[in-house]
């Protein structure tokens, strides 16, 4: 990306879990692949009172712990591009200093630079930061044609539907839609992007992709890890808002959407949004029958979780997409923490006319062991006329050997610099996802909270 103008990355929440685990390693990976603009600078913003050396040490520890795959020299050069601006997000002085620091960098670059402002903070802090950025005029690009300003906003987008509407309004008043990048990092996972290719490039399955031939679809995002150091944040959010409102629904959108005309960012986002809009609201009696929420035993004892917390660490929802393609096909959405294994996959079960136990299944494995499997039936060799299941499979590792697939955040940052919004959620997608989730959340208290053992398959085991 050497022809790109100099770019300044401003990361609010640089000392947070996400920045340490995903953003910094992704930036380092892009840097080492020479995919960042030739001239770039990163300004990390957070509250911790680090001096320059302490900050560098902090960054180094995070990057090394997570990757350990770069030459010491490259890591050092990368860290040389990072500066720290310490301050409290609701103090306007911070933004004045930030403006000055950006000015200094631009003087060094000798030109107006692109700015990518990343809000890697919980949703309740976004409004304040945006308002203060606006007072300091940091949302205004420094030149009309050259030197854009873009904003990246992390999920969950708002704490609830009202918060999301408010946030949208505020963002819309400061930025044009093509400057707003709403992150759902699942959209950028290689194995998820491949769903559209698989569906629309191979003519084999598309004729079968409807209620006539598909019996049900199961979308699972299962995690072995407990809530860990994110417990104080997680306890306020819960599984449904943490991954249901976004990652799981985006997986559903990709598997159920219509073929977009021309495969542009606009048409793809429109088709994903249409699916989310068509989701039948789960409410009333259906809530008890179609929704399960649960918490793992011991969750209450996690540091940062309030005593007697009713927060769910697991959910399962049965829902329907109300259009002619998917009429009466149940979609099961499931996610949980502290389960037996970490596994994200989408299983498409085909109808079997003769024997319901002998169905064909198409499995998209999103992670780990990214790939695709098809279960089919063969005649068992020999005299008796019996059948048995076999699998056709493809694994990404066969293609890439030891090469690790690029992390979703690498792709997101790369695309945000390029201005490609395909892998970012549109305002419609975010709103329709909230519209589907909100009635469930409003009735959460009426749905009994089940419990499950850590390391088990969940409450429905």
Size of interface with ligand BG6, in residues (CB under 6 A): 3
Phi, psi for 75 (deg, rounded to 5)? -60, -45
Q: Comparing C-alpha atoms, which of 370, 66, 18 is closest to residue 189? A: 370
Question: Is 222 or 276 the residue whose CB approaches ligand BG6 more closely?
Answer: 222
Largest CA distance in the chain: 83
Question: Is 21 or 290 the residue whose CB approaches ligand BG6 more closely?
Answer: 21
Question: Is 6 or 244 the residue whose CB approaches ligand BG6 more closely?
Answer: 244
Q: Name the CA dihedral angle for 338, 341, 342, 344, rounded to a multiple of 10 degrees.
A: -120
Residue 215 CB, shortest distance to ligand BG6, in Å, is: 27
- Cis geometry, peptide bond prior to residue 368 (ω within 30 degrees of 0): yes
Question: Is 168 or 242 the residue whose CB approaches ligand BG6 more closely?
Answer: 242
- Looking at residues 90 to 119 of the shown chain, list those that interact with ligand BG6 (rule: CB under 6 A): none
Residue 245 CB, shortest distance to ligand BG6, in Å, is: 10
Question: Is 242 or 271 the residue whose CB approaches ligand BG6 more closely?
Answer: 242
58: helix, coil or strand? helix
Mask for 377-416, x = binds ligand BG6 (CB under 6 A)? ----------------------------------------
Measured from each CB, the residue nearest to ligand BG6 is 242
Query: Which one is catalytic: 62, 118, 185, 247?
Result: 247
Q: Comparing C-alpha atoms, which of 437, 422, 370, 376 is closest to residue 161? A: 437
Tell me if 458 sits within 8 A of 452, measured CB to CB.
yes
Spatial neighbors of 15 by CB under 8 A, at least 6 apart, are 44, 46, 47, 48, 58
Q: Comparing C-alpha atoms, which of 63, 81, 82 is closest to residue 72? A: 63
Read out DSSP for 122-160?
-HHHHHHHHHHHHHTTTTS-SSSSS--EEEEEPSS-SSS
Question: Is 105 or 408 the residue whose CB approaches ligand BG6 more closely?
Answer: 408
Tell me if 432 sits within 8 A of 278, measured CB to CB.
no
Residue 373 CB, shortest distance to ligand BG6, in Å, is: 19
Mask for 174-213, x = binds ligand BG6 (CB under 6 A)? ----------------------------------------
Tell me if 424 sits within 8 A of 187, measured CB to CB.
yes
Residue 224 CB, shortest distance to ligand BG6, in Å, is: 10
- Looking at residues 328 to 357 of the shown chain, list those that interact with ligand BG6 (rule: CB under 6 A): none
365: helix, coil or strand? strand
Beta bridge partners of 217: 331, 348
Spatial neighbors of 130 by CB under 8 A, at least 6 apart, are 119, 139, 151, 170, 171, 174
Q: Which of 85, 168, 235, 242 binds ligand BG6 (CB under 6 A)?
A: 242
Residue 401 CB, shortest distance to ligand BG6, in Å, is: 22
Q: Which of 28, 75, 84, 223 binds ligand BG6 (CB under 6 A)?
A: 223
Pairing assessment for the beta strands 149-153 and 180-182 based on DSSP bridges? parallel
Residue 18 CB, shortest distance to ligand BG6, in Å, is: 8
Task: Give the Cβ contact number of residue 177 at 10 Å.
Answer: 10
Q: Does 85 bind ligand BG6 (CB under 6 A)?
A: no
Question: Is 293 or 375 the residue whose CB approaches ligand BG6 more closely?
Answer: 293
Residue 67 CB, shortest distance to ligand BG6, in Å, is: 15
Active site residue 247: yes
Tell me if 442 sits within 8 A of 267, measured CB to CB.
no
Question: Is 125 or 286 the residue whose CB approaches ligand BG6 more closely?
Answer: 125
Q: How far apart are CA 113 and CA 103, in angstroms?
A: 10
Residue 115 CB, shortest distance to ligand BG6, in Å, is: 25
Q: Does 243 bind ligand BG6 (CB under 6 A)?
A: yes
For the stretch 257-264, contacts whose Cβ atoms lie closer than 8 Å and that sit 24 or more positions apart, written own/partner, are 258/325, 259/199, 259/200, 259/206, 263/196, 264/422
Tell me if 133 sits within 8 A of 396, measured CB to CB.
no
Residue 1 CB, shortest distance to ligand BG6, in Å, is: 24
Supply the residues annotated as catalytic: 247
Q: Which residues bind ligand BG6 (CB under 6 A)?
A: 223, 242-243
């Amino acid at each position: 990306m050497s022809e790109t103008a100099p770019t300044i990355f401003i990361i609010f929440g640089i000392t947070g879990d996400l920045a340490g685990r995903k953003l910094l390693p992704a930036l380092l990976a892009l840097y080492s692949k020479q995919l960042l603009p030739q001239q770039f600078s990163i300004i990390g913003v957070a509250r911790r009172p680090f001096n320059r050396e302490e900050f560098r040490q902090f960054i180094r520890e995070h990057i090394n712990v997570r990757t350990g795959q770069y030459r010491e020299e490259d890591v050092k050069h990368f860290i040389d591009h990072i500066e720290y601006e310490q301050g409290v997000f609701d103090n306007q002085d911070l933004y004045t200093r930030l403006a000055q620091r950006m000015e200094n960098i631009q003087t060094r670059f000798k030109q107006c630079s692109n700015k990518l402002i990343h809000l890697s903070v919980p949703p309740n802090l976004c409004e304040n930061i945006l308002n203060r950025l606006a007072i300091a005029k940091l949302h205004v690009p420094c030149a009309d044609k050259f030197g854009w300003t873009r904003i990246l906003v992390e999920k969950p987008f708002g704490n609830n539907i009202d918060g999301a509407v408010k946030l949208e309004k505020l963002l819309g008043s400061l930025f044009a839609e093509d400057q707003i990048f709403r992150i759902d990092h699942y959209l950028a996972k290689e194995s998820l992007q491949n769903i559209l290719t698989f569906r629309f490039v191979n003519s084999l399955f598309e004729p079968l992709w409807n209620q006539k031939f598909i019996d049900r679809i199961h979308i699972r995002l299962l995690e072995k890890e407990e809530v860990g150091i994110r417990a104080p944040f997680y306890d306020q959010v819960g599984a449904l808002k943490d991954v249901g409102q976004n990652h799981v629904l985006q997986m559903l959108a990709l598997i159920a959407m219509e073929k977009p005309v021309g495969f542009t960012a606009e048409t793809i986002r429109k088709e994903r949004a249409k699916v989310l809009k068509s989701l039948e609201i789960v409410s009333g009696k259906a809530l008890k029958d179609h929704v399960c929420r649960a918490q793992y035993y011991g969750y209450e004892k996690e540091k940062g979780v309030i005593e007697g917390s009713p927060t769910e660490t697991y959910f399962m929802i049965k829902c329907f997409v109300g259009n002619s393609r998917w009429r009466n096909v149940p979609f099961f959405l499931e996610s949980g923490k502290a389960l037996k294994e970490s596994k994200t996959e989408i299983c498409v079960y085909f109808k079997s006319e003769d024997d319901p136990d002998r169905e064909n299944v198409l499995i998209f494995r999103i992670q780990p062991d990214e790939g695709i499997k098809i279960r089919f039936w063969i005649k068992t060799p020999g005299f008796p006329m019996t059948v048995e299941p076999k699998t056709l499979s493809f694994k990404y590792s066969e293609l890439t050997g030891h090469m690790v697939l690029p992390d979703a955040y690498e792709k997101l940052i790369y695309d945000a610099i390029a201005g490609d919004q395909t892998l970012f959620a549109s305002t419609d997608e975010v709103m329709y996802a909230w519209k589907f989730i909100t009635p469930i959340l409003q009735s959460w208290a009426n749905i009994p909270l089940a419990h499950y053992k850590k390391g088990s398959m969940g409450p429905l085991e």
